[in-house]
Each structure stands twice: as C-alpha cells, then as structure tokens.
Structure 1
C-alpha cells in the first residue's frame, strides 16, 4: 500500500511556539515514551545498520540464515522507529481535532527561507537522514526522530549540536550522501542540508522551530 510522508521544520515567533505547545508537545512526548520506540533506538545505537544498498539482497524469508533474518528484523525496527509517530500523526493529520491540521495551522504562510520540507512517496526523510549520519550524530539532534518544538532560546542553545551533527568534511560528505537513499528534484533541498540552513536562519532571526514528521496521505 502506498503512502506519502513529509518531514518539515518551520520557523515561528515565540508566541506561536507557545500556542502550538499544548497540542504538539504531549503527542511528541507520548511517541518518545513508547517502550518499543526506546528499545528500537537503543538497538540501533548499539548496532548501526550496514550500507543500505545491501538491504534488499537478503533473499526471501525461507532462504535467509539466522544472521540475515536478524539483519532484516533490525532494518524493520529502524524503519518503524524513524517513521512518523502515531501520536504526532494523529494530531497533525486532524484526527485528534478536525479544527487543527499541520498544513493549515503550522506550515501555512511559511516562506521558502523560513522552512525546510521533504516530501516523498513510500519513503521517510528522517529514516534516510538518520541512516546516512548514523546514531552518534543523530543523538545530537534535539527532540525525537525529527519531531521537536523549540523556543528561540532553545533553538539558539541547540545550534552547536546541530552543527556538529550536520557539518561534514569532504570525505564525510561523500560517505553520508552515499547512504541517503532519497531522490531529489532539481530545486529540492536534501535532508543533509535543509535542517541546518533553517536552524541557522532561525537562530539569526530569533525564531523558534517546529519539526514534525507526518503521513500526508
């Protein structure tokens, strides 16, 4: 079954962040508190996945040995971990309250400079980013698997960590690009570039940030 997902980081004044907090923060915290998500996170940190180009050469279930089956299980665990969380999905998609939807109440009115958005069919932007940069760098990013709601002060305080996570030497850049499996249009910004650009701009402008990963259809 097909799906479309979006991961976006949008810039907002401090009052707008405060207004969004009662809706979004409980959902983000609930997804983070899920015991299965915590187990998947720890498993990935302890055993990062191999080159993604090997994931689809494991063979059918009947033809896998124990190691291959364990690897396939780890891949599915990671994909579940980095997919949109059910609580955030419910709130942002208008299922919890039809009067609130992320498209209208969070992303509407955002200019290109103020926002990063990655929309893909049958893929998740956070999954590709996290696999590409690995668990050590991913752990530096605020929030939980791409979801966060930060005041201007929190954005400013987190910038050094985000820069450490998303700044690469030429050799590192080549390595992470090889592990980012998303395809980009000519004018589309990659998950390796957009988040840091928006973070730096928000810090400079004194704005807060809202990061949400959701299914859009």
Structure 2
C-alpha cells in the first residue's frame, strides 16, 4: 500500500501559540520523551559527517532506479524517530494545523510526496550544519511571535544560498525524492523557499508559526 509524506508550515495566532502547549500538557505521558534504541548514535552520526556519506548508488542497468545505501535508510529512520506520534504530539499536530490558514499563500506551505518524507528531503538537501539552524526539531515546531523573530535570522542563514550552493541543495532534494520516493515532479525549490516565506510573513504580521509532518 502506498503512503504519502506531508509537511505543513503555517502561521498561527500568537495567543494560540502561547496557550497550546499548556492546554495539551495533560496528554504528555512519562515515556513520551524516550527515543528509540540507537537514536542518539544516529543523531551523532548525522551531526558529525554522516551527511557527507553516499546516500544513493546508480544502478548497473540505467533503466532501473537508484539503490539506497545504509546512510539513506539511517537518515530516513532518524527523521521518523525524532518526533514519534504520541498522543500529545498528534493532538498538537491536529490543533496547530487547525489554526493555520485554509489555503496556501504567504502564510501557509504544504509539501506532499508519495513514499518520501519532505522533512528528510530538506535535511538531506541542506546537510547537517544548515538543517540544525532550522527552528524546532526535525520538521516540527510551534513558535510564538517573539520566538519567530528570534528564530528568523538562523533560518535565513540556513535557507539562503549562493547560486552554486542552491543548485547543489536542490539536486540533493530531487535525488531524495526520486530515490527514496518516486516523485519526479516534486518542487525542490519550494521546499527551500516556502518555509522561510512563511516565517517572514509571521514576523511581519506579529504571528506565531508552526510546522508538522505526518504520513497518510
């Protein structure tokens, strides 16, 4: 059965961004913050040069798809394990998404990809150093208006490139979407540009911002 990875980034009212964690705190369970075995080691691998390993190998037969290396599978698992779908996390994702605009525009970005996680693609495209500058934790965040303003400079540092750096990042994102998934038409440029557009819009309007990823 096929699956679709979804990542939504949008503005939310500042008052709601401030109130939501306390409103849902009662759903947090003692084991919710426990990461799966091997998570710390995988995070250390990614942060200390793992992003420079080969993630895809060309096929012997050009008509066949590329082969995934252990590094590609390890990053995919790392991103999935970073924000496990606990009751509290799922409630936060539902409530936060409901506060976002109804349609894409300056304050909303929606990325979808069949069989691939857009957040993993973005991290692969940016590499460990740049992706660590993004707000939140592997694609999930909930920021008040003041937190948006504080996070924006580092997000700009992560997502603004020289022409050659941008080309390399987009090439890597496309490689992830075609190697891990099968989306040859995925908008790699939007995956880089749109989150920054949303954060800037939130800063300009005094709004909070949120981002959540899930599978359908």
- Superposed CA offset, 1:23-47 (max 9, x none): 38987xx777525433222111122
Of stretches 73-82 and 165-174 in structure 1, the one that deviates more from structure 2 is 73-82
Alignment partner of 1:141 out of 134, 137, 146: 134
Are 2:31 and 1:34 aligned? no
Q: Which residue of 2 aligns with 1:73?
A: 70
- Aligned residue for 2:138, secondary structure, equals coil
Report the alpha carbon displacement of residue 72 of structure 1 after superposing the two structures with TM: 3.2
Q: Which residue of 1 aligns with 2:64?
A: none
Are 2:80 and 1:87 aligned? no
TM-score, normalised to structure 1, is: 0.76
Report the alpha carbon displacement of residue 153 of structure 1 after superposing the two structures with TM: 0.3
**Residues 113 and 198, structure 1, Cα contact 8 Å, conserved in 2:** yes
- Aligned residue for 2:85, secondary structure, equals helix
**Residues 10 and 109, structure 2, Cα contact 8 Å, conserved in 1:** yes
**Residues 101 and 107, structure 2, Cα contact 8 Å, conserved in 1:** no
Are 2:195 and 1:202 aligned? no
How does 1:107-146 map onto structure 2 within 5 Å? 107=100, 109=102, 111-146=104-139
Q: What is the CA–CA distance in structure 1 between the aligned matches of 2:131 and 2:97, rounded to whole Å?
A: 29
Q: Which residue of 1 aligns with 2:45?
A: 43
Gaps of 5+ in 2: 61-66, 178-182
- Superposed CA offset, 1:97-116 (max 9, x none): xxx83597344635522111
- Superposed CA offset, 1:119-148 (max 9, x none): 111111011110011000011112110101
**Residues 166 and 192, structure 1, Cα contact 8 Å, conserved in 2:** yes
- Aligned residue for 2:69, secondary structure, equals helix
Gaps of 5+ in 1: 59-67
Let me know the Cα RMSD of the aligned residues.
3.5
